[in-house]
Homo-oligomer: A and B are copies of this chain.
Amino acid sequence: MSSSLSHSEKWSLLLLTGASLAVIANSFDGGGAPLVASLAFSTLAFSMTYAFVRWSGPSFVKAGLKGRDMSKLIPKEIPEALGAVAASVYILVLMAFIPFAFYKDIVAATSGGGNRDVVITISEVETGRFLHRFPHSKLSSYQSALNTLQTTTILGMADDILDLRWRHKFFIPAIASLPLLIVYYVDFGVTSVVVPNFLVQYMPNQTRLINLSFLYYLYLSALSIFAPNSINILAGVNGIEVGQALVVAVLLILNSSLYLVPFPGNPVLSNGYATHPHPATDSHLLTLYLLLPFLGVSAALYIHNRYPARVFVGDTYCYVAGMTFAVVAIMAHFSKTLLLLLIPQIVNFVYSTPQLFKIIPCPRHRLPKFNARTGMLEPSVTPWPDDRPPSKLLTTVFFTLEKLHLLQVTVNPKTNRISSTSNLTIINLWLVWRGPMREDQLTRELLIMQSVCGLFGLFVRHTMALLIFSVDNRGQYGQGHASPV
């Protein structure tokens, strides 16, 4: 595999880069069309990631960051942890985007009318008040998102390089989410949720707001731990890590786009919010600004990681992907929507718990087993040696799960005891259900399953929102956000 770009790749990327830069330059001059600029930055991020991932392969191999692809006839070594490159490009692009997203503040600060050439008068500079009058809350949210993603990258790189232990890995996202939660606390600090109407009469003083206080942060922290780790454990097949992140990102972008188109039936509210298509527009715009470049870098990485993989993505990418989702969900207050999109990950996590928490033995790798004779992937198994068979209770559980088609159980005909059970990941389970298949087919089917689950989740979410909408006019404000009743 060459580490240089082919002739056509080179020219396509150059063209894409040139076009992106042209759009970016124009959208900056034209008074700022942030969404257009964000799209251009995303295509720029795509071409940068595409080229950098290709170019840096040999350096990664030289530094010992390489792995053997075990699901191939000839398991050759390919560069590992290239997700760090994608994450770095993502972060750099998010930084470069700041003046585009927060352009209005500058205009207002320099002259108040859009003319940026006006020199600030002395008294304004002196007190500093004129410059600081404008809400910086969005900027500081955006920066805290950046900080969280950077911490995730640093700790993810540490994990990829030093190969941390499971108990250390698990808390990486918890630490990385600190900057976001701390700024949420300092900057915003709303931890109250609305009490449903029918419960108000049971509340002390019949309060309509209940302050969850630190419990709310615990919930956000749990979300930040869950999202990255759940993506990290749904892995092991070419393209699956990046693929699932792509699906979730596209669905989140779809969800946020729904808030940007005006709803004709949206009732006009008493305080004049009707001029906006939806009160949560700003939050969802910010979500798009974070997700579009993520889509760009992920797409480029996917091309290198899909079957047959030319690079592995490493833990850094999985952490950054999951954390990106957690960040937008926290910032734009749609944590429950995110969980609906992560249903396969949740199922996989729950299904994995007996192995993750060592209730039954967990081999170091649980990826499907490659059958060199057929070229197909088969479910990998946990062996139960004759001298350490599963307990009576476990045996009953295993046979019940087998009846429910949730486990593959092999019985030793001699001893009549269970000799092996399939490893508890939904990837293996999918192979149990659908039979052995080629690696690319497996990834494709899993990604379709993820898409279908996600679309169903979105459907449920918006149907339910309408149900709540009839009870509480402002339910669309999002969960966890203190909204008026």
Contact = CB atoms under 8 A, between A and B. Distances in A.
Contact of A154 (B91, B106, B119, B484): B91
A136 B163 CA distance: 39
A192 interface: yes
A185 B120 contact: no
Interface in A99-114: 99, 102-103, 105-106, 109-110
Given A60-B162, A139-B186, 8 more contacts: A65-B161, A95-B179, A95-B182, A99-B182, A102-B186, A131-B190, A135-B136, A136-B139
A132 B139 contact: no
A98 interface: yes
Interface stretch (A204-212, A334-342, A357-365, A402-410): A204-212
A285 interface: no
Nearest to A87: B154
A199 interface: no
A122 B208 contact: yes
Interface in A445-485: 482-485
A469 B150 CA distance: 43
A140 interface: yes
A311 interface: no
Nearest to A64: B64
A352 interface: no
Interface string A136-165: 110110011011001101110110011100
A31 interface: no
A150 B154 contact: yes
Contacts of A136: 135-137, 139-140, 187
A387 interface: no
